[in-house]
Amino acid sequence: MTDGAAQPEAGWKRVRFGTPFLDQSGPYFVPEADGVRGLAMRVTAPHVNYVSAAHGGVLATFADVALSYQVFLLEEGGLPITTVSMAVNYLAPAKLGDWLTSEVRIDRLGARIAHTSGRLLRGETTLMTMTGVYNLLRPLAGAGKG
């Protein structure tokens, strides 16, 4: 779904995840400022449905990427994870050309599972709320010792 017209807002730069699906479902952008977190995307022509609104699957993918990316960033070098479950609530449409940002919270972090929540925004307008549970794929301490 990449599109040359997907230009970031000032203060954001493109992030490449290194997997074809993630690189094609965006592009996604991260803040240029060190220590600032978040993920953003521009709604482009390949993202929209027949009424020029972002397809629900595009927004759900963005939600999953935004939630999981914050968990990934918890450890130096990245924490490998998989999605266990995710729920989304569509509150308002995103239209062609809209700049969308995410806010994510890590609600609970265990040794093997992370619980997250957040929202997708267009400016100050909340378009979607979401929750996700992620499996942490780091080795447990002492695993494999006999």
pLDDT digits (tens, 9 = 90+) for 33-90: 887 788 999 999 999 999 999 999 999 999 999 999 999 999 988 899 999 999 999 9
- Nearest Cα to Cα of residue 101 among 122, 87, 73, 86: 122
Helix (H) or strand (E) holding 80: none
- pLDDT-based confidence at 141, cuts 50/70/90? low
At a CB cut-off of 8 Å and minimum separation 6, what does 91 contact? 126, 127, 128, 129
Share of the chain above pLDDT 90, in %: 73
Kindly tell me if the per-residue pLDDT of 3 is higher than 70: no
In a domain, 4, yes or no: no
What is each CA distance from 81 to 17, 76, 84, 120, 141, in whole angstroms? 14, 14, 9, 21, 17
- Does a structural domain hold residue 86? yes
* Cα–Cα distance measured from residue 81 to residue 137, given in angstroms and rounded to the nearest whole number: 5
The residue range of the domain holding 129 is: 12-136
For residues 24 and 87, what is the distance between their CA atoms, to the nearest angstrom? 23
Q: Is residue 14 within 8 Å of residue 4, measured between CB atoms?
A: no
Residue 142 falls within a domain, yes or no? Answer: no
| pLDDT mean over 85-102 | 97
CATH number at residue 35: 3.10.129.10
Residue 103 domain-assigned (yes or no): yes
pTM over 0.75: yes
Taking every pair of Cα atoms in the chain, the longest distance, rounded to a whole number of angstroms, is: 60
**Tokens encoding 145:** 């010792």
∠ CA 114-120-122, nearest 5°, is 160
State mean pLDDT over 81-100.
Answer: 97
Q: How many domains does the chain have?
A: 1
In a domain, 2, yes or no: no
The edge-to-edge listing of strands for the beta sheet with 99-109 is 12-15, 28-31, 40-42, 99-109, 113-122, 125-136, 81-90
Tell me if 106 is assigned to some domain.
yes
For residues 10-18, average pLDDT: 90
Q: Is residue 108 a part of any domain in this protein? A: yes
- Is position 83 within any domain? yes
